[in-house]
Structure 1
Amino acid sequence: MLWQLTQMLWVGGLWLLHIGLLPVLGRIGLAPLLIDEITGMLNALMVGFAAACLIFQVLVLVQAEGLASLWRDIRGQLLLVAMLACAMYFAVRIGWPDTARWQLFSYLVLGFSGLLLVLQPVPGWGGRVRQAHP
């Protein structure tokens, strides 16, 4: 249950921000520089939140499947790719702040790895769909 909750928060929040909120800011008549500032701040906050959720999901996966699952399991590999994308986002943001394309690239890598992670079974369930008890 915690796996799904954290996954919904960071993957859903990431895509909602990128597809829903940020395009609307341009349509409501705000100044372009203000929109750029808001976009940069919200993207950084969302990537930081995603990194915290990813750490939690790594802990859940390791507890349920063992440490080797980080390299052998597709869920672990996707979590590692997503964490690398978070690290790359902040490294580019801090080291080369004028390269917005690389920030967008790492943001999209994070988003697509999250979408692929959503398609994977929850750790500890063995790929089965859990049924509710009457």
Structure 2
Amino acid sequence: MLWQLTQMLWVGGLWLLHIGLLPVLRRIGLAPLLIDEIAGMLDALMVAFAAVCVVFQALVLVQAEGLGCLWRDIRGQLLLVALNACAMYFAVRFGWPEAVRWQVFSFLVLGFSGLVLVLQPVPGLSGRVREAHP
């Protein structure tokens, strides 16, 4: 259950920010510079939050499946891709701030790896049906 909650928070938050919040701010007529400033601040906060959630999910995966699953399992590989996308986002943001396209690219890699991760089974329940305990 912690896996699904954490996943919903970071993947849903990333997509809600760019599909829900920012278009609404543009629609209500805020100044474009203000929207860009809000987007930049919220992007950084969401990527940092996603990094924390990805680390937490990796710990849950390792506890359920073992340490080797980070490299052999698709869920572990997707978590590593997401964590690297977070690191790349902040490396570009602080090391090369005028390269906005690389920030957007790493944000998209993070978002799409989260979407693919949503389609994967929950650790500990993969391949078997959960039995009801009275």
TM-score, scaled relative to structure 2:
0.95
Alignment of 1:46-65 (within 5 A): 46-65=46-65
Distance 1:100 1:59, change over 3 A: same
Shift of residue 106, structure 1, vs aligned partner: 0.4
* Partner Cα separation in structure 2 for residue 15 and residue 90 of structure 1: 19
Does the 8 Å CA contact 1:58/1:79 hold for their aligned counterparts? yes
Q: Tell me how far apart the structure 1 counterparts of residues 112 and 100 of structure 2 sit (CA, whole Å).
A: 18
1:33 maps to a residue whose letter is L
Distance 2:57 2:124 in 1: 12
Q: Which moved more, 1:47-56 or 1:18-27?
A: 18-27
Q: What amino acid sits opposite 2:75 in the alignment? A: R
Residue identity in the other structure for 2:82:
A
1:63–1:93 distance in 2 versus 1, CA, 3 Å: same
Work out the CA distance in 1 between the residues paired with 2:88 and 2:29.
Answer: 32
Mapping for residues 78-89 of structure 1, pairs under 5 Å: 78-89=78-89
Counterpart residue identity of residue 61, structure 2: L
Distance 1:122 1:86 in 2: 22
The answer as to 2:108 corresponding to 1:105 is no
Q: Which residue of 2 aligns with 1:92?
A: 92
Aligned residues: 134
What RMSD in Å do the two structures reach over aligned CA positions?
A: 1.4
Residue pairs, 1:1-134, within 5 angstroms: 1-128=1-128, 130=130
C-alpha deviation, 1:129, in angstroms? 5.1
Residue 120 of structure 1 aligns to a residue whose secondary structure is coil
What TM-score, normalized by structure 1, do the two folds share? Answer: 0.95
